[in-house]
Amino acid sequence: MTKLSVKFKNESEKVGFDLEHRKKIKFNMSKYNAAVVKGQAYYQDLESTKQKASFIKQQTLTSLDKYLKKFESSFERNGGQVLWAVDDKEAQAQILKIIRTHKIKTVVKSKSMTTEEIELNDLLENNKVEVLETDLGEYIVQLAGEKPYHIVTPAMHKSKEDIAKLFNEKFNTPIDSTPEFLTNFVRQKLREKFIKADLGITGANFIIAEQGAVALTENEGNGLMTTSFPKIHIAIVGIEKVIPNINDLNLFWPLLAAHGTGQRISAYNSLFFGPKKNSETNGPDEMYVILLDNGRTNLLNQPDQKEALKCIRCGACLNACPVYKNIGGYTYNTTYSGPIGSVITPHFKGLEKYKHLSFASSLCGKCTEVCPVKIDLQKLLLYNRRDVVQKNYTTRLEKVMMYAYKKAMLNRKYLNMGSLKTKNKFLKKFGSKAWGPRRQIFELKESFNQQWKKSIA
Ligand code: SF4
């Protein structure tokens, strides 16, 4: 077992039995679940919408290089600059270069998982650049010194009382502050920072090849502020985010809103076609898009798993997953958690190191059922498991057990060997170790032969 898999097992054990954690997640997710049912009900034919979205993403992936080059030429024609980053280190170096060239001291950020992926906040803080999250959920986790718990709702693991306590400790606000009071408090604080900041950093929900634009969807308006005041805007975008045409947003924006937050459409939907033009008053003087690979090409090269790149990061599979609901977001120890995180992380960061994630599933299929772009998540987890075996990353014990199992199953003589008492003893000794102390080990009452005879009698 790797260090990470041991940590994962221990953390799962701890968090799974933390009743306080369970209560908070249950409460916050129940609100989400009710909203998403409402959001999906806006569709007369949700299934065909999902099929269409899946088809467009699949087609785009088939010619990803062509669409990315198209985006590059269109965006540069609009006055922006495209930078390519093969991994997190390259992306970090490009950002630092821009920061040093412009002597940037303060950065405002809107919510973005790609910036989490490249550990941008640590990089900026280590280089004495002030960085401020402007999404309320992100702001809360930054204040608490934590990472996002969930890809859509970063502070899902906190109750309103936890948040009031955190603000009381940091800013001396009343301990019983309401969410409305705290939202206003943060708004005031952020306003000053938006005006002062030299650089705004965002992610992107989609980038559009034909028109060369970056599409951002959000509910608080901070993304818009992040890109309006500072003189420079950098969008850090995974290469799979490209869609062919602006008209495709008619399909993707509402689909993302319905599955992410249960809305007909998010409150703020912005399109950025490069930096400010001469006739415009707001917007940055310079705009960069960093196209981040960071393992995505590796995933694209897996014929059976590449469809995971269709993901639009709505978070629906996390909320549907019985494993995620019990062990929570932090246990995964990855940027992307839940079913989609378990599928993609081994390809982004190494199958051997993250192989345990592919086994963190009951294979119930709920994730596949809720996915708006029809990613067959539980099947992809099985493909990952297959690769673990084919690449010989399984443990010695597992190999021995499978060898013995195969031998016994192929030969009646071995299957009938030993009394029921011995078999039960064996099961108790090794089964409880492998399955953990809380699972009841079943007891064999009859041999396979006896059961078989009864069934055909
Ligand atoms: S895999 Fe599907 S359900 Fe999960 S986050 Fe991506 S788009 Fe949403």
313: left (phi over 0), alpha (psi -120 to 50) or beta: left
CA of 212 to the centre of ligand 1 (A): 25
Residue located via tokens 């599979």? 317
Handedness of CA 56, 61, 66, 67 (dihedral sign): positive
370 in contact with ligand 1, CB cutoff 6 A:
yes
- Regarding the beta carbon of 95 and ligand 1, being less than 6 Å apart is answered no
As a whole number of angstroms, the distance between CA 164 and CA 148 comes to 18
Residue 450: its pLDDT value, please?
Answer: 84
Mean pLDDT of 367-387: 97
Nearest CA owner, ligand 1 atom 3: 371
Cβ(106)–Cβ(197) under 8 Å? yes
Cα 389 to averaged position of ligand 1 atoms, centre (Å): 26
What span, in angstroms and rounded, lies between the C-alpha atoms of 331 and 80? 39
151 CA closest ligand 1 atom index: 5
Confidence (pLDDT) at 434: 74
* Enclosing H/E stretch for 200: strand 199-202
- Where is 196: in which H helix or E strand? helix 179-196
Q: b/e per residue, 433-450, with b = 16+ CB within 10 A?
A: eeeeeeeeeeeeeeeeee
- The β-bridge partners of 130 are 106
Q: Which atom of ligand 1 is nearest to the CA of 377?
A: 1
State both tokens at 262.
């249960």
Q: Which of 337, 367, 292 is nearest to 115 (CA)?
A: 292
> What's the CA gap between 229 and 313, in Å, rounded?
27
Q: 345: which residues sit within 8 A by CB, 6+ positions away?
A: 332, 334, 335, 336, 354, 357
Angle between helices 46-62 and 64-77 (to 10 degrees): 90
Q: Quick one: which atom of ligand 1 is closest to the CA of 320?
A: 3
| Cα separation, 140 vs 143, whole angstroms | 5
- If you ran DSSP here, which 8-state letter would residue 305 be given? T
- How large is the average pLDDT for residues 62-76? 98
Q: What's the token pair of residue 263?
A: 């809305």
For residue 371 and ligand 1, the question of a CB distance below 6 A is answered with: yes
Q: What are phi and psi of 290, to 5 degrees?
A: -100, 115
Q: Is there a contact between 144 and 13 (Cβ–Cβ < 8 Å)?
A: no
Whether pLDDT at 294 is above 80? yes
The model's pLDDT over 309-353, given as tens digits with 9 standing for 90+, comes to 999 999 999 999 999 999 999 999 999 999 999 999 999 999 999
Ligand 1 atom having least distance to the Cα of 260: 8
Q: Quick one: pLDDT at residue 65?
A: 98
Q: Distance of alpha carbon 168 from its chain centroid, rounded?
A: 30
pLDDT of residue 388 exceeding 90, the answer is: yes
Q: Is 340 in the pocket of ligand 1 (CB under 6 A)?
A: yes
Helix (H) or strand (E) holding 167: helix 160-171
* CA of 343, closest atom in ligand 1: 1
Say how far apart CA 355 and CA 448 lie, in whole Å. 33
Q: How far is the CA of 18 from the centre of ligand 1 (A)?
A: 27
Residue 252 alpha carbon to ligand 1 centre in Å: 13
> Is residue 284 predicted with pLDDT exceeding 90?
yes
What domains can you pick out in the chain, each with its CATH number? 1-41+315-394 (no CATH), 46-52+59-294 (3.40.50.10420), 399-456 (no CATH)
Ligand 1 mean position, distance from CA 260 (Å): 9
Q: Smallest Cα–Cα separation from 242: which of 291, 208, 210?
A: 208
The upper half-sphere exposure of residue 47, i.e. CA atoms within 13 Å in the direction of its Cβ, equals 1
Amino acid 330: pLDDT: 97
Residue pLDDT, tens place only, 153-208 = 999 999 999 999 999 999 999 999 999 999 999 999 999 899 999 999 999 999 99
Residue with tokens 């997640």: 25
Band of residue 148 on the pLDDT scale cut at 50, 70, 90? very high
Q: Pairing relation of β-strands 213-218 and 206-208?
A: antiparallel
d(CA 254, CA 109): 24
Q: What is the pLDDT of residue 117?
A: 97
Among 129-143, 270-284, 344-358, 402-416, the minimum mean pLDDT is found in 402-416
Between the CA of 313 and the centroid of ligand 1 the distance, in Å, is 5
From atom 8 of ligand 1, which residue's Cα is the shortest distance away? 314
Among 243, 210, 216, smallest CA distance to 228 is for: 216
pLDDT at 66 over 90: yes
Rounded to an integer, the average pLDDT of 12-40 is 92
Q: Which atom of ligand 1 is nearest to the CA of 338?
A: 4
What are 228-259's pLDDT values in tens digits? 999 999 999 999 999 999 999 999 999 999 99
Residue 330 buriedness (CB in 10 A; 0-12 / 13-18 / 19+): middle
Q: Which range, of 72-81, 275-284, 382-391, 434-443, averages the lowest pLDDT?
A: 434-443
Does position 441 have pLDDT exceeding 90, yes or no? Answer: no
pLDDT for res 401: 86
Which residue, by CA, sits nearest to atom 6 of ligand 1? 311
Q: Is the CB of 343 under 6 A from ligand 1?
A: no
- Cα separation, 237 vs 215, in Å, equals 11
- pLDDT for residue 132: 95
d(CA 438, CA 397): 21
Predicted TM-score (pTM) of the model is 0.93
The percentage of residues in the chain with a pLDDT greater than 90, rounded to a whole number, is 83
- How many whole angstroms from 391 Cα to the centroid of ligand 1? 27
| Ligand 1 atom 2, closest CA | 371
